[in-house]
Amino acid sequence: MIIPVRMGCHLSLLICQLSKMILQKQAKHVSIAAMDLGFTHRFEPRAAPNVPTLDEQGVAGYSTESWNGLFAPKGTPRAIINRLAAIAAAIARDDAIQRHMAEFGSVAVANSPEDYARMLREETAQWADLVKQIGLK
């Protein structure tokens, strides 16, 4: 997600994925005078080691992350789910994959289908609460 806020001819605030910003900066598509107010997730990426998380800056409890995952159709046999999960986890743990993803601020996570399902339930509940609080329909 990219949320730009313009003031005059300069972009004063940008909320976006670190991976997108790093790639744009490396390609010299953007000039960043004062990048890095803080990260919205719980860890400090190796791609920007001196940038604190918002939690470290006193904005407690604010955590949001972007993620990608694999899904299978309902009714897929458990043996196939387990095999795909094992392959994906092996890829995520590979040192070369970890290094490559760290270059643009991402982390490959090797978790179980159960852990992933739990994270999805938690994310759904978090955003459903927010939608209710602000009255989105």
Q: Is the dihedral of CA 85, 89, 115, 63 positive or negative?
A: negative
Position 48 scores a pLDDT of 66
Residues of the chain short of pLDDT 50, as ranges, are 1-3, 5, 34
pLDDT digits (tens, 9 = 90+) for 23-36: 777 777 666 554 55
The answer to whether the predicted template modeling score (pTM) of the entire model surpasses 0.85 is no
Residue 97 to residue 100: CA distance in whole angstroms: 5
**d(C-alpha 92, C-alpha 75), whole Å:** 25
What does pLDDT average to over the chain?
78
